[in-house]
Structure 1
Amino acid sequence: MKNKSGLILAILLPIQYMGVKIISEYPEFVEDYYSTGIYPVIARIMRTSLGVLPFSLGDLLYTFFIISVIRWIAIRVNTRFKNPRKWIVQIFALTSIIYACFHIFWGFNYYRLPLHKTLKIKNDYNTEELIMLTQTLITKSNEIHFELTANDSLPVPYDFKKGDLLKKTIDGFDHVSKTYPKLTYEGRSLKRSLYSIPLTYMGFNGYLNPLTSEAQVNTQITRYKIPTTASHEIGHQLGFAKENEANFIACLATINHPDLYFRYSGLTFALRYCINELYARDKEQADKLMATVNPGIRENYREVREFWERHQNPFEPIFQFSYNSFLKANNQQSGMKSYSYVVALLVNYYDDVENAF
Structure 2
Amino acid sequence: MPEGSPPTRDVMTGIRLATAVALAAACPLLALLFSQPDLQAVFFPGYRRFSRALMSALADVTSVVPFAVWDWLLAGLAVAAIATLARRIRRHQRVLPWFSVVALIVAATAFLGTAGWALNHYAPRLSQDLGLEVGQHSEDQLASATSHYLDQAASRAALVPREEDGTLSQQDFYELARIAGASYAPLAQRCETFSGSTAPVKSLLLLGEPLLFSGHTGIFWAATAEPGVPPNTATAELPFTMCHEAAHRLGIASEEEANFSAFLACSASDDVRLSYSGYYSAFNYCANALFAEDPERARQVILEALAGENGTGVALVMQDRSATRAHYQAYEGPFEDVGTTVNDAYLKSFGERAGVRSYGLVVDYLLAWLDE
TM-score of the pair, normalised by structure 2: 0.83
Q: Which residue does 2:79 correspond to in 1?
A: 67
Q: Which residue does 1:307 correspond to in 2?
A: 327
Write the letter of the residue equivalent to 1:124: G
Structure 2 residue 301 is the aligned partner of structure 1 residue 281: no
Structure 2 residue 180 is the aligned partner of structure 1 residue 172: no
CA contact (8 A) 1:45 1:187 kept: no
Identity of aligned residues (%): 21
Mapping of residues 181-196 of structure 1, within 5 Å: 181-194=192-205, 195-196=207-208
Q: Distance in 2 between matches of 1:334 and 1:55?
A: 32
Structure 2 residue 332 is the aligned partner of structure 1 residue 336: no
Deviations 1:216-238 (A, max 9, x none): 11111232221001101101111
Structure 2 residue 271 is the aligned partner of structure 1 residue 259: yes
Write the letter of the residue equivalent to 2:52: P
Q: Which residue does 1:235 correspond to in 2?
A: 247
Q: Distance in 2 between matches of 1:174 and 1:273?
A: 25
Q: Quick one: which of 131, 144, 149 aligns to 1:132?
A: 144
Structure 2 residue 233 is the aligned partner of structure 1 residue 213: no
Return the offset for 1:331. Answer: 1.7
Q: Distance in 1 between matches of 2:95 and 2:158?
A: 69
Structure 2 residue 369 is the aligned partner of structure 1 residue 349: yes
Return the offset for 1:42. Answer: 0.6
CA contact (8 A) 2:53 2:196 kept: no
Structure 2 residue 54 is the aligned partner of structure 1 residue 21: no
Change beyond 3 A, Cα 1:47–1:310: same
Q: Distance in 2 between matches of 1:9 and 1:149?
A: 51
Return the offset for 1:315. Answer: 2.1
Change beyond 3 A, Cα 1:5–1:260: closer
Q: Distance in 2 between matches of 1:39 and 1:248?
A: 20
Structure 2 unaligned regions, length at least 5: 1-11, 307-313
Return the offset for 1:115. Answer: 1.8
Give the SS at the match of 1:241. coil
Write the letter of the residue equivalent to 1:240: I
Structure 2 residue 129 is the aligned partner of structure 1 residue 118: yes
Q: Which residue does 1:163 correspond to in 2?
A: 174
Q: Distance in 1 between matches of 2:95 and 2:73?
A: 28
Deviations 1:285-309 (A, max 9, x none): 2121122252221110111111111
Write the letter of the residue equivalent to 1:10: V
Q: Distance in 2 between matches of 1:185 and 1:124?
A: 28
Return the offset for 1:8. Answer: 4.5
CA contact (8 A) 2:120 2:252 kept: yes
Q: Quick one: which of 108, 113, 123 aligns to 1:97?
A: 108
Return the offset for 1:191. Answer: 1.5
Return the offset for 1:273. Answer: 0.6
Q: Distance in 2 between matches of 1:226 and 1:237?
A: 17
Change beyond 3 A, Cα 1:129–1:189: same
CA contact (8 A) 1:30 1:108 kept: no
Structure 2 residue 46 is the aligned partner of structure 1 residue 33: yes
CA contact (8 A) 1:277 1:339 kept: no
Q: Distance in 1 between matches of 2:198 and 2:270?
A: 21
Change beyond 3 A, Cα 1:157–1:98: closer
Change beyond 3 A, Cα 1:139–1:159: same
Give the SS at the match of 1:122. coil
Give the SS at the match of 1:125. coil
Structure 2 residue 157 is the aligned partner of structure 1 residue 145: yes
Q: Distance in 1 between matches of 2:223 and 2:258?
A: 18
Structure 1 unaligned regions, length at least 5: 353-357
Return the offset for 1:204. Answer: 2.2
Write the letter of the residue equivalent to 1:305: R
Q: Considering only CA atoms, is the larger Rg found in Structure 1 or Structure 2?
A: 2
Give the SS at the match of 2:361. helix
Give the SS at the match of 1:223. coil
Q: Which residue does 1:317 correspond to in 2?
A: 337
Q: Distance in 1 between matches of 2:370 and 2:45?
A: 26
TM-score of the pair, normalised by structure 1: 0.86
CA contact (8 A) 1:216 1:233 kept: yes
